[in-house]
Chains A and B, each alone.
Chain A
Amino acid sequence: MSEKPAYNKPLPDLRPEDATFWEALKEHRFILPCDDAGKPFWYPRKYAPGTLSQTSWTDASGNGTIYTYSTHFIGPSKAYKGDPPHIVALVDLDEGPRMMTILVKDEDGYPSLDPEDVTIGMKVRIVFDDVTDEITMPKFTPAA
């Protein structure tokens, strides 16, 4: 297996309303934003959709099911040039929300899962890819 390349792709633009989320990921904890009734939602933001209550946070299992996916043969910018195809998936988290993510083979978030190894309805679990000292990306891999 090839060595994991240095990360040269765009990084998230951290904002006050999602800093808590990224700080938890850095500690390899997956948390979800939720409303004042404790209902989790995706994506992180300051006010909960629907109720407009202040967002609070809840621990999440990191387990989910593939709702659908697409194999991307080119990336969104030059930083992806020459990369092998990667799989963008919508994952239905066990806690309810649906999240867009990337599917990978291994625990360290690399390389991409092969398209022939993906099926709709497949169980997946989170892996934490420490792409820089500051940023950890949540990616998913087939559940054991």
Chain B
Amino acid sequence: MPQDALAAVVATQSEHAALKWNAMLRDAVTVEDVLNDRWIATPFHAMDCSLVSDGAAAFIVTTEARAKNMKKKPVYITGIGEGFSHQYISEAESVASVRDGLGRAGRRAMEVAGITPQDLDVAEIYDSFSFTPLIALEGFGICGVGEAGDWVMEGNAKLGGKLPMNTHGGLIRQAHLGAMHHIVEAVLQLRGEADDSAKTEFNGGNHQVPDAKLAITNGSGGILAATSALVLSSEPPSAA
């Protein structure tokens, strides 16, 4: 994976975090900024790494019947999947086995939901490091194998792009609360509540994906080891 591709993930998400009212890092950075940042461990500069955060996030999971009586428009879980490839990183067979293992989560979630990657409107992808969403994009089948770097560098993951990704800035720019905020952001997107322009005291901006109906989101644990994914929908699953 070229260094520019990793930096493009950071730059993309920084543009989104600049609009997200509660992101820890609000400044938009360029690919060059990331490449010139101090090293932590190759291939990761400091900006390629997720943040250390204190915070909280919450969502309520309940039945469709109860959700209908609540004030807010519900969002539906229409697909769920899990994937696993190894325990410690020395036990991972190859990049391909890791991609396939964690990718199974997203592929299975979309299979359960009865959708394909082309149907997705927004993707909130676990981003412990800038590399993590790239291997997930390929594993989930959103990009072909070896294509995620170019895909992000071409701007497809930006707001207004083919599939906006980490529209809240993700763990790299908003805050690291596991994957909680990825789910919260996906819910906000599907409800049409991701325009923070009215939050003028926080200099909020509009990071809403217009008319978003289907989102994929995932979380991961271990060293790229265990992943679970959800497909969330603004519409209830069809009776069929």
- A135 interface contact, C-beta 8 A: no
Residues of A within 8 Å of B38, CB to CB, are: 73
Docked-complex contact A71 and B41, CB < 8 angstroms: yes
Binds A, one of B7-15, B84-92, B147-155, B185-193: B84-92
Using Cβ atoms and an 8 Å threshold, which residues of chain B touch A88?
A: 41
How far, in angstroms, from A136 to B41 measured CA to CA in the complex?
Answer: 25
Name B30-50 residues within 8 Å CB distance of A: 38-43
Closest to A88 in B: B41
B41: A residues at CB distance < 8 A: 70-74, 88
Chain B residue at minimum C-beta to C-beta distance from A68: B95
Tell me if A100 and B40 are in contact (CB < 8 A).
no
8 Å CB interface, B88-122 against A: 88-91
Q: Which A residues are CB-close (under 8 A) to B43? A: 70
Size class of the contact patch on chain B: 10 to 19
For the complex, give the distance between the alpha carbons of A99 and B92 in Å.
Answer: 11
Kindly identify which residue among B42, B88, B90 contacts A71, using a CB–CB cutoff of 8 Å: B42
* Nearest Cβ on chain B to A94's Cβ, whole angstroms: 16
Closest A residue to B92 by beta carbon equals: A98
Q: Is the CB of B42 within 8 A of A90?
A: no
> Are A74 and B40 in contact, CB atoms less than 8 angstroms apart?
yes
Whether A100 pairs with B90 at a CB distance below 8 angstroms is yes
- Tell me whether A42 is interfacial, beta carbon within 8 Å: yes
A97: B residues at CB distance < 8 A: 90
List, in ascending order, chain B residues with CB within 8 A of A74's CB.
Answer: 40-41
Task: Point out the residue from A42, A70, A72 that lies within 8 Å of B90, measured CB to CB.
Answer: A42
The distance in angstroms between the C-alpha atoms of A70 and B43, with both chains bound, is 7
- Taking a contact as CB atoms under 8 Å apart, the answer to whether A98 and B90 are in contact is yes
Please report which residues of chain A, range 95-143, place their CB below 8 angstroms from some CB of chain B when the two chains form the complex: 97-100, 115
Q: What B residues does A100 contact at CB under 8 A?
A: 88-90
Query: Closest CB-CB distance, A6 to chain B, in whole Å?
Result: 25
User: Considering the chains assembled together, what is the distance between the CA atoms of A90 and B91 in angstroms?
Assistant: 10
Residues of B within 8 A of A115 (CB): 42
Pairwise interchain contact A73-B40, C-beta atoms closer than 8 A: yes
Task: Report how far A99 CA is from B41 CA in the complex, Å.
Answer: 18
Nearest-CB distance from A78 to chain B (Å)?
Answer: 16
Contacts of A71 in B (CB 8 A): 39, 41-42
Q: What separation, in Å, do the CA atoms of A71 and B91 have in the docked complex?
A: 20
User: What are the residues of chain A within 8 A of B42 when measuring CB–CB?
Assistant: 70-71, 115
B225 CB → nearest A CB, Å:
14
Least CB separation from A75: chain B residue? B41
For the complex formed, measure the closest distance between the CB of A107 and the CB atoms of chain B, giving whole angstroms: 24
In the complex, the answer to whether A90 meets B89 with C-beta atoms within 8 Å is yes
**Docked complex Cα distance between A88 and B223 (Å):** 15
Q: Which of B44-91 contact A (CB under 8 A)?
A: 88-91
Chain B, residue nearest A42 (CB)? B90
Q: How far apart are the CA atoms of A71 and B88 in the complex, in Å?
A: 19
> Closest Cβ of chain A: how far from B95's Cβ, in Å?
9
B39: which A residues are within 8 A, CB to CB? 71, 73
Q: Do A43 and B89 have beta carbons less than 8 Å apart?
A: no
Chain B, Cβ-Cβ closest to A97:
B90
From 49 to 84 in chain A, residues with beta carbon under 8 angstroms from any chain B beta carbon are: 49, 70-74
For residue A73, which residues in chain B have a CB less than 8 angstroms away from its CB? 38-41
Pick 6 A–B contacts, CB within 8 A, sort by A: A42-B90, A43-B88, A43-B90, A72-B41, A73-B39, A97-B90
Besides A90-B89, A97-B90, 9 other CB < 8 A contacts? A43-B90, A70-B41, A70-B42, A71-B42, A72-B40, A73-B38, A90-B90, A98-B91, A99-B90
Instruction: Report, nearest first, the 9 A-B pairs whose CB atoms are least far apart.
Output: A73-B39, A72-B41, A71-B42, A100-B90, A70-B41, A98-B90, A70-B42, A42-B90, A99-B90
